[in-house]
Amino acid sequence: MQSITMFLQEGPAQTTNYMILGYVVIFGMMGLYGISLWIRQRSLRQDLAILQDLDENNVDS
């Protein structure tokens, strides 16, 4: 019913809240994915540093 009355009204429908919610989701999900990439990359760099140290120690001994 709401959608039918929307098309009968003169002005545009009041849908600003849905637009805001939409863009919160878009930027939120893109941001979360970016953060997840950054965290995973940082964790791999830490692992790599530790493993390279271990590898060098093994070669020395």
Partner 1 sequence: MSQKSRLLTVLDVITLFLLLVATWMVFFYAPMERVMGQVQRVFYFHVAAGWVGMLGFLVAAVAGGIYLATANRKWDIVEVSAVEIGMVFALINVVTGSIWARPIWNAWWTWDPRLTTATIMLLVYAAYLMLRSGIDDPSRRARFGAVYAIIGFISVPLTFFSARLFRTIHPIVIGSNQPGATGQFDMSPLMVQTFLFSLITFTFIFIVLLWHRIRMGQMADYVEELKLKIGDQ
Residues in touch with partner 1 (CB under 8 A):
1-3, 6-7, 12-16, 18-19, 21-23, 25-26, 29-30, 33-34, 37, 40-41, 44-45, 47-48, 51-52, 54-55, 58
Q: How far apart are the first and last CA of the chain?
A: 79
DSSP class of 9 = S
Q: What would the two tokens of residue 8 be?
A: 């009968």
Smallest distance from partner 1 to CB 2, Å: 5
Q: How far is the CB of 10 from partner 1 (least distance, A)?
A: 10
In contact, 34 and 41? CB cutoff 8 Å: no
